[in-house]
A and B are shown apart, each in its own frame.
Chain A
Amino acid sequence: SAVISQKPSRDICQRGTSLTIQCQVDSQVTMMFWYRQQPGQSLTLIATANQGSEATYESGFVIDKFPISRPNLTFSTLTVSNMSPEDSSIYLCSVGEDRGVTDTQYFGPGTRLTVL
């Protein structure tokens, strides 16, 4: 499977600021996704990062709060804007790989964000 890296691995931020998280893949992939995992919770899909067009956001997530870029098939960024303590979570990118039947998703190592 593709090797996925994320930067930063963790950060502590002040409320009202913004943080941009980078996701880099070692091969070209069609599908990239951003998830959030709040403390003690499961994964929630934020958006699908589309190459060359605007991301597709899930219900409850908006572009102004979570702008996403996908300039090419190996890289994407997620920005968490105007942060509040409620944004403290692990943010994960994943990539979809075609396994013949369906895309199988593999996750990056995650970014642990704490907002004070």
Chain B
Amino acid sequence: QKEVEQNSGPLSVPEGAIASLNCTYSDRVSQSFFWYRQYSGKSPELIMSIYSNGDKEDGRFTAQLNKASQYVSLLIRDSQPSDSATYLCAVNEDSSYKLIFGSGTRLLVRP
């Protein structure tokens, strides 16, 4: 059973801090990794994708991938209350288009 694991949280950080969200996956051959943000009552919104080991930065967001350790993380710098949401990690299954989702981490940014 291929799995994607996330801490359900909530992860509570003060405004302006760095929020660090982590995800581990079981399938070594996974090639593509995605972070989605889901506000309550809304559908998931893609915020980052990463395919190669290392860091990928986009504005306040940095995705980090370590295939040897089978983990992917998302850093949110200068966290804002508007970042409060559930963050879903998703992994491509093998070379197919299927996504396997983690259970999500709820982030709460305190003003």
Contacts and interface: CB of A to CB of B under 8 A. Distances in A.
Interface residues of A, number: 23
A102 B43 contact: no
Contacts of B42: 109-110
A102 B46 CA distance: 14
Interface in A22-68: 31, 33, 41-45, 48
Nearest to B6: A42
Interface in B85-107: 88, 90, 92, 97-99, 101-104
A102 B104 contact: no
B91 to A, nearest CB: 11
Interface string B32-55: 101010000011111001010000
A105 interface: yes
Interface in A92-116: 92, 96, 99, 101-110
Contacts, number: 49
Given A31-B97, A42-B103, A102 B44 contact: no
B31 interface: yes
A109 B44 CA distance: 8
Contacts of A110: 42-43
Given A42-B104, A45-B98, A48-B97, A92 B88 contact: no
Given A42-B102, A43-B88, A103 B51 contact: no
A55 to B, nearest CB: 13
Interface of B: 31-32, 34, 36, 42-46, 49, 51, 88, 90, 92, 97-99, 101-104
7 contacts: A42-B88, A42-B104, A43-B88, A43-B99, A48-B98, A105-B34, A105-B90
Closest CB pairs A-B (n = 7): A107-B43, A102-B32, A110-B43, A43-B101, A42-B101, A42-B103, A103-B97
